[in-house]
Structure 1
C-alpha cells in the first residue's frame, strides 16, 4: 500500500497554478505520459488525460511521452509493443489531444533523453530511491520475482523525461507526487552543483486524483479492475454491475467510510458534471442497483463521442505512425540541445 501523502500543499499550489494558467498559458510547458502496457482507462482519463486536453485548449505547450522502455520495469519482455504504442496514440487523439499542437513521442526514440539518466543518478542516493512509496507499491505488485535496476531507478528515469524538455508543469494524481518531488530534488541539486539549468516542475492535481477500480483497490491495467476508454457500452455495463460496493442499502457520499460507493458516485459526477453529494441524495434508498445504473448511463454517455472518434481513427494506422514520427523528431531536437547544455555545465563537452 502506498504511504499516506500530505497532498494539501500540492492542492494549494495547484489552485495558484490554475490562476496563472488562465492569465499566461504560454509560461508553461507540460510533460506527461504513460507506459504502453495496455489501453487507457477511466483512471487515466480523469487523473491526467482530461487535464492534458484542457491545458492544450487553454494554450499550454504539451509534450506527451509514451514510455516504452519503462514497460520493462515489471516485465521480462515488452510484448506487442508496437501495437500498444499505436493504441496509446489512438487513445490520445480520440480523447482530443491535437498532434499539431502537442508533441507525442516514445522513450526509445530519444537517445539524448535517456543519456541524462547517468548524470541524474549521481544526484540521488540508494536510500532515497528505496524510500520512494510509489516504487514500493509498484514492486509489491510486480510480476517479477526480483526487482530490476530499471524498476528501482524508475523515478530518476522519469525525472529525465520531465527535465530534458525543461517542463515546468506535470499533471498527476496524488500517487505520483513522490516521483515528482524527486524530480524537483534532482533539478535543484544539478543547478546547485553545476549551474542553473533546470526548472523545478510543479504538480497540477486533477479534480479526481484517485479513482478506485471495480474491486475497490486502485484502478490499474495490471490488476484487471479498470474500465477501459475503448470498451463497448455493454462491456462497461458488465464491469460496473460487478463493481464492489458495501452492505448498506441507502446510498450516501462518504469517501472515508464508504470508499467504494463514494468512488462510483464520483465517477458518475465527473462524467455528468454533477455534484456527488447531490447524486447520492437522488439515489438514496435505491441502493447499489440504482447506483450502478446511474454510473453506467453517465459513463457511456460521456464516452460515446470519444469512442466514435476512436473507431474512425483506428481505420488509418499509418496516420498514427506519422504522428509518432513527427513527435520523435521534435523531441530529439529538444533533447540534443539539453544534453549539450548538461555536458557544457559538467565540463564534459569535448
Structure 2
C-alpha cells in the first residue's frame, strides 16, 4: 500500500466569535456528517475546522458517517460508497488524524444499531413526532411517503451518541432537541435498568452561519454551496454567481446586507481578518471587486487542503483501509457497551 503523507492543518484564527473551549476533563466527542455529497465551506468553518482543533488538543474524537440515516429523507441512497469515501477524503484533507480519531460508518457497527430497540421502548411516538428536526425533514422529505425510519431518527441518533458513551456533542442550536431526547433516553435507561450511560452535554458552536450563493443557508441539497474539493476555476464561477445587492460601497452589515456581508465574512474567515477591515479594503469597488477578493481568499486558503485531498485520492485503497480500521475500533466499543446493556437488562448474550 502506498504511504500517504500525514495531513497538516492550518486553520487560522476566526475573526467573529470564539471557538468553544476544550473541556478541562477528558471528554469523548461524537459528531459526523451524512454521506449525501461533498463537504463545503459551511461545513469547514462551521464544524470541521473545530473538530481538528479539538482532536489536536487531546479530545477523544469519534466521527460517524451515518450511511443508514441517508434513507430517512429519501427512497434510495445514491452513490453511497462514493460519498462515504469523499467524506473521508475531506476529513483527511482538513487534518483529521485517524491515529487520534475514530472514523466509522454507521452500517458497519451492528451493536450500535442493536441499541435502537431498547431505546425505542423508552420514548413515545408523540415524543418522536414532536422533534422539530423530524417535522422539518418530513416537510422537505424526498420520499414517496414518510417512512417509519424517519420517526426513529432521533432514537437512532441517540444510539450513535450513547454507544461510545460520548460526553460532548457539538451541535447548532437547531439540533439541541436531539440532544435533549438523547439525554432523556440515557436517563430513563439508567433509572429503569441501572447506570450505564452518561447524559451527554451540548457543545454549542459559535461559528458564524455561512449563506449559500443564493442567499439562503449553504446546503448540499440546495446546489448553492462551494465544495472543499472544488477547483479554483469552479470556485471562481460559483462566487461570480453569488447574490449581492446594488450598493457599490462594500460594508459589513449582516442584518441590512446579508448577501454582501456573507461574502465579506467568507474572505475574512479565509484570511483570519476582521470582516469590517476586509470591507474597508474593498471600499467602493462594488460587487465585482468583492467577488474577486473573495475568490482569491478562498482559493489561497483552500489550496493546501485541496493538494492534500488530491494526494489521498490517488490511493483509495488506503482510504478504505482507514475506514475498516475505524469500523473495527467502533465495533469493539459498541460490543462492550452492548454487553453492559445486556447485563443491566438481564438478557442472554
What aligned pairs does 1:103-118 form with structure 2 within 5 A after superposition? Answer: 103-118=102-117
How far 1:139 moved relative to its partner? 2.6
Change (3 A) 1:349 1:261: farther
Native 8 Å contact 1:155 1:179 kept in 2 = yes
Q: Is 1:157 the equivalent of 2:190?
A: no
Native 8 Å contact 2:20 2:204 kept in 1 = no
Distance, in Å, in 2 between the alignment partners of 1:261 and 1:138 is: 29
Native 8 Å contact 2:19 2:50 kept in 1 = no
What aligned pairs does 1:1-350 form with structure 2 within 5 A after superposition? Answer: 18=21, 21=23, 23-24=24-25, 27-349=26-348
Native 8 Å contact 1:173 1:210 kept in 2 = no
Distance, in Å, in 1 between the alignment partners of 2:317 and 2:92 is: 14
More helix by share: 1
Structure 1: runs of 5 or more not aligned: 1-13
How far 1:286 moved relative to its partner? 2.3
Q: Any idea what the Cα deviations from partners look like across 1:34-63, whole Å, max 9, x if unmatched?
A: 111111111111121111111111111111
Change (3 A) 1:260 1:185: farther
2:5 aligned residue: none
Structure 2: runs of 5 or more not aligned: 1-16
RMSD across aligned C-alpha pairs, in angstroms?
2.0
Native 8 Å contact 2:35 2:65 kept in 1 = yes
Aligned residues: 333
How far 1:230 moved relative to its partner? 0.4
Q: Any idea what the Cα deviations from partners look like across 1:10-48, whole Å, max 9, x if unmatched?
A: xxxx98961x53x44xx1111111111111111111121
Change (3 A) 1:104 1:125: same
Secondary structure of the 1:153 match is: helix
Q: TM-score, normalised by structure 2?
A: 0.90
Change (3 A) 1:318 1:132: same
Distance, in Å, in 1 between the alignment partners of 2:174 and 2:252 is: 22
Q: Any idea what the Cα deviations from partners look like across 1:229-256, whole Å, max 9, x if unmatched?
A: 0000110111111111233333222222
How far 1:152 moved relative to its partner? 2.2
Secondary structure of the 1:32 match is: strand
Change (3 A) 1:63 1:327: same
Q: Any idea what the Cα deviations from partners look like across 1:42-90, whole Å, max 9, x if unmatched?
A: 1111121111111111111111111111111122122222222111111
Change (3 A) 1:128 1:15: farther
Q: TM-score, normalised by structure 1?
A: 0.89
Change (3 A) 1:269 1:203: farther
Change (3 A) 1:326 1:78: same
How far 1:181 moved relative to its partner? 2.3
Secondary structure of the 1:222 match is: helix
Native 8 Å contact 1:250 1:286 kept in 2 = yes
